[in-house]
Structure 1
Amino acid sequence: MMTVDKDTFLKSDLLERYLTGLTNTQENLEVEGYIDNFPEVKEVYNVLQNKLELVAFANAEEAPVHLLGSILETLDEKPVVSLNEKPRKPWFNFGIAASVAALVFAGSSLFFYIQNQDLLNENQVIVDELYDLRSDINQNNSKLDALAQQFSQLNNPETEKYILKGNRRAKNLKTVAYINPKEKTSMIDVVSLPILPDGQEYQIWAELQDKQVNLGILSVKDRRLQQIPYTKDALGLSITIEQKGIKPNNNSTDTPVAEIELKLED
């Protein structure tokens, strides 16, 4: 009586136990019913049978010569076996059983190996995540330290605040510079910058008595408090619109769109 579908049957061990003679009468009838009714089961049965026979014969050892006489004497005492009967081969069954055990052991070893590899991979993922987390923590700590330093500079009574607003060429431009001549630090907060055409950029300058010193490029992406080089004896700050790709020097090629005078004392 077939109680489960053929796929569930093939996943069970009934077919293997049937081949090794480890099933009872009811299980034999059930297995033979599946073999007769399902070509897929019959094909698997034939494949397993052929493989087990090959393994059994390969593992068979030649019987010692001195056993031949005993075997012949035993045969004389046994009744003749009918040609229609299939003689049992206990050694063959034991060989198949041993082979099945070896296959099960090999399968188990492979399963545990795969499980171990999966565990190692999971451990490596955890290690990588911990490393990334530690890196993120270090980066965040560095950012917090930088912010703490910036706030300390902003709250320093020696820090002067200068607001640069754009002229008619850059009406919405607004930046705030924080300069401390005692600590010799300079920061700028890019509040808003009008969008420029491709190929142009904003640059900030320190105005000295006889020259200009380029302090870097301002970008709409840098709308945050950032450090700029401190320039001793600076008389003022200015922002210009320059062509991209031209290395900044001490001479601006454009008139400022924002500027302010500084009153610094050393």
Structure 2
Amino acid sequence: MEKTYILDNGLLELYVLGELNANEQAQLETAIAKHPELKLQLDTIEANFEKMALENAIDAPKEVKSNVLNTISKSSTKTVFIAPQKSLRPYLNIAASVAALLFIGSIYMFSQLNNTKKQLQLVEQENKKLNSNIENLNNYLMETNKWYVAINDPDVQKYVLTGNALMPEATVISYVNNEKKSVVINTKYLPKLDDEHDYQMWADVEGKMINMGVIDKNKDMLAMNYIDNAESLNITIEPAGGNDHPTVSQLITNIYLN
């Protein structure tokens, strides 16, 4: 039996535990006698198991100790024959088995604890995601309700701005409330622009164009600045971020107010 085979297959441990058959045990003992390093490792393993057995030992009941002392006292004049010390291997086997069960149980409990922690983390993540979705939905509903109330006010006047020859596909719906001094527009049907340009809305007051604000590319419904005495609404294409005056050549739609 080769030394490498013995070490790779843990035969020394199995030998200490008494798990080898007679033939394997005989071969192993021959190899141990041949290789001193195997004998040294075997002694180390037996010492470790013995230490484990002592660490896990259970103290004997007090009455056992009393009985032993009484027996010794009564037979103090008699010759006591001490039986040859028995091998510790059976006890080591038991201790090793108990330790193995405890170790396996610890691993199982640790694994279960980790799995439980992971499941709790997943549940917590799902709860956070659900709460976030609920919050987003509530915000959306509140936003939608706000626009619904604004555009359905009895004082609102609706104007549809259609695109001109420069951008015939453009359509913007404007809701003007002169009583509450508010302007809301729906830009859902306004073509998307590149990052270098923005739409900007203007109010014409006695021939002067007044800025109503840059149209947000990321929103379909938005409130614009209300301008008193506006005669018309106009939308132009301007450099990103808006302009301080309208680029007339980039006017895409306008409508006169009543």
| TM-score category of the 2 structures, normalised to the smaller one | 0.5 to 0.7
What SS is found at the alignment partner of 1:248?
coil
Over residues 64-89 of structure 1, what are the superposed CA-to-partner deviations in whole Å (9 max), with x where a residue is unaligned?
A: xxxxxxxx9435xx7xxxxxxxx961
User: What residue is the counterpart of 1:237 in the other structure?
Assistant: 233
Aligned 8 A contact 2:214 2:242 in 1? no
Over residues 21-50 of structure 1, what are the superposed CA-to-partner deviations in whole Å (9 max), with x where a residue is unaligned?
A: 4x7xxxx76996xx99xxxxxxxxxxx978
Once the 2 structures are TM-superposed, how far is the Cα of residue 123 of structure 1 from its aligned partner? 0.9
Aligned 8 A contact 1:55 1:99 in 2? no
Once the 2 structures are TM-superposed, how far is the Cα of residue 195 of structure 1 from its aligned partner? 5.3
Q: Partners of 1:208 and 1:51 in 2: how far apart?
A: 101
Distance 1:124-1:31 versus aligned 2 partners, 3 A rule: farther
User: Which of 115, 130, 133 is matched with 2:130 structurally?
Assistant: 133
Aligned residues: 211
Distance 1:129-1:51 versus aligned 2 partners, 3 A rule: farther
Over residues 146-179 of structure 1, what are the superposed CA-to-partner deviations in whole Å (9 max), with x where a residue is unaligned?
A: 2122222222221110111111111111111011
Once the 2 structures are TM-superposed, how far is the Cα of residue 94 of structure 1 from its aligned partner? 0.9
TM-score of the two chains, using structure 1 as the length reference: 0.64
Aligned 8 A contact 1:164 1:260 in 2? yes
TM-score of the two chains, using structure 2 as the length reference: 0.65
Distance 1:253-1:17 versus aligned 2 partners, 3 A rule: same
Moved more, 186-195 or 154-163: 186-195
The yes-or-no answer on 1:123 pairing with 2:120 is yes
For 1:48-59, what aligned pairs fall within 5 Å after superposition? 52-59=45-52
User: What residue is the counterpart of 1:248 in the other structure?
Assistant: 243
One-letter amino acid of the structure 2 residue matched with residue 228 of structure 1: M
For 1:21-170, what aligned pairs fall within 5 Å after superposition? 21=18, 52-59=45-52, 73-74=81-82, 89=87, 91-170=88-167
Aligned 8 A contact 1:241 1:254 in 2? no
Once the 2 structures are TM-superposed, how far is the Cα of residue 236 of structure 1 from its aligned partner? 2.1
Once the 2 structures are TM-superposed, how far is the Cα of residue 104 of structure 1 from its aligned partner? 2.4
Aligned 8 A contact 2:234 2:254 in 1? yes
Structure 2 stretches lacking a partner, 5+ long: 1-8, 29-40, 55-79
User: What residue is the counterpart of 2:60 in the other structure?
Assistant: none
What SS is found at the alignment partner of 2:158?
strand
Structure 1 stretches lacking a partner, 5+ long: 1-9, 11-15, 37-47, 62-71, 79-86
**Identity percentage of aligned residues:** 23
One-letter amino acid of the structure 2 residue matched with residue 93 of structure 1: P
Once the 2 structures are TM-superposed, how far is the Cα of residue 101 of structure 1 from its aligned partner? 1.6
User: What residue is the counterpart of 1:207 in the other structure?
Assistant: 204
User: What residue is the counterpart of 1:188 in the other structure?
Assistant: 185
Once the 2 structures are TM-superposed, how far is the Cα of residue 191 of structure 1 from its aligned partner? 4.1
Once the 2 structures are TM-superposed, how far is the Cα of residue 261 of structure 1 from its aligned partner? 1.9
Once the 2 structures are TM-superposed, how far is the Cα of residue 52 of structure 1 from its aligned partner? 4.5
Distance 1:229-1:97 versus aligned 2 partners, 3 A rule: farther
- Say what the alpha-carbon RMSD is for the aligned residues: 3.8
Q: Partners of 1:232 and 1:97 in 2: how far apart?
A: 97
Q: Partners of 1:189 and 1:125 in 2: how far apart?
A: 40
Distance 1:229-1:94 versus aligned 2 partners, 3 A rule: farther
Distance 1:262-1:117 versus aligned 2 partners, 3 A rule: same
Distance 1:197-1:131 versus aligned 2 partners, 3 A rule: closer
The yes-or-no answer on 1:260 pairing with 2:255 is yes
